[in-house]
Amino acid sequence: MRDLLVGFFTVSGSRRLFGNLISFLCFIALLSIVTVDGLDSTTTANWCESGQFLTKDDSCESCSAGSFSRLEMATGCLLCSPGFHQPEKGKTDCEYCKEGFYQPEYGAMDCIKCPLGTYGRATALSKLDCQPCEEGSYGVSTIYGEECRECDPGTWSYDEGSTDSDGCTSCPAGSFTPGGWPCTKCFPGTYADKEGSKACERCPRGTMTYS
Give CA–CA dist 207/88, Å, rounded: 71
pLDDT on residue 209: 77
The radius of gyration computed from the CA coordinates of the chain, to the nearest angstrom, equals: 38
* pLDDT of amino acid 62: 94
Task: Give the per-residue pLDDT at 19.
Answer: 54
Per-residue pLDDT, 28: 46
Would you state the pLDDT for residue 23?
Answer: 56
Question: Per-residue pLDDT for the chain (211 aa), expressed as one digit of tens each?
Answer: 334 334 434 444 444 545 555 555 554 444 333 333 333 433 445 789 999 999 988 899 999 999 999 999 899 999 999 999 999 999 999 999 988 899 999 999 999 999 889 988 888 888 889 989 999 999 887 756 678 899 999 999 999 999 888 999 999 999 999 998 999 999 999 999 999 999 999 999 878 777 6
Kindly write down the DSSP assignment for every residue of 175-211, as one continuous string: EE--SSS--EEPPTTEE--STT-SSPEEPPTT-----
Query: Which amino acid, residue 131?
Result: Q
Spatial distance between the Cα atoms of 126 and 160, rounded to a whole number of angstroms: 20
Three-state DSSP class for residue 100: coil
Could you tell me the pTM of the whole model? Answer: 0.60
User: For position 36, what pLDDT does the model report?
Assistant: 34
Determine the pLDDT at residue 22. Answer: 55
CA 77 to chain centre: 17
Angle CA(127)–CA(90)–CA(111) in degrees, nearest 5?
10
What's the pLDDT at 119?
A: 85
| Cα–Cα nearest to 151, from 118, 198, 114, 116 | 198
CB 28 within 8 A of CB 47: no
